[in-house]
Amino acid sequence: GADTDSNYADGEIYDRYRVVQNNGFGYAMYHLKFMTHAGIMLYQNGIDIFEYIGKNGENLLLSFKVYADYLIEDDLTLHGGHYSNDKSLNRGMAYNTYAIGYYVYKDETIKSVLDALFDQKVGCNDIEVLGNSAIFIYPTKD
């Protein structure tokens, strides 16, 4: 009942109800990150969820694409403003997830996110991937 807005985009992770807590976008990114990490672990064990397409066309690539504009433009008010009251966009947390996404899909939208973060000098701050040393990592454009 917390989410009365049912205007979801294809690929959007259903965690927008947390906008009432002012952190829906962060949780959506968190879930995308862990689905991506699980995807890599599964792939290494012979299961490719990156190529999976659900009965209604659902797939992980759509999730990468649906959040791209927010990350590129550094603007949570885009696409209807569903996340406009969120506490933070925290784009530095997207680096590792989108780097894996680009490695898997070679998609230009995903690459545009990485290029924008690099060009805008957004540092990687995803300490959950590489431990506390991750704050010292700044990806190169290539």
The 10s digit of each residue's pLDDT in 67-125 is 999 999 999 999 888 888 888 788 888 988 899 899 999 999 999 999 999 999 988 87
**Phi-psi label, residue 135: left if phi above 0, alpha if psi -120 to 50, beta otherwise:** alpha
Q: How many helices (H) and strands (E) does the chain have?
A: 6, 0
The pTM is what?
0.81
> Are the C-beta atoms of residues 75 and 28 closer than 8 Å to each other?
no
- Quick: pLDDT tens for 1-35: 555 566 667 777 766 556 566 778 888 888 898 88
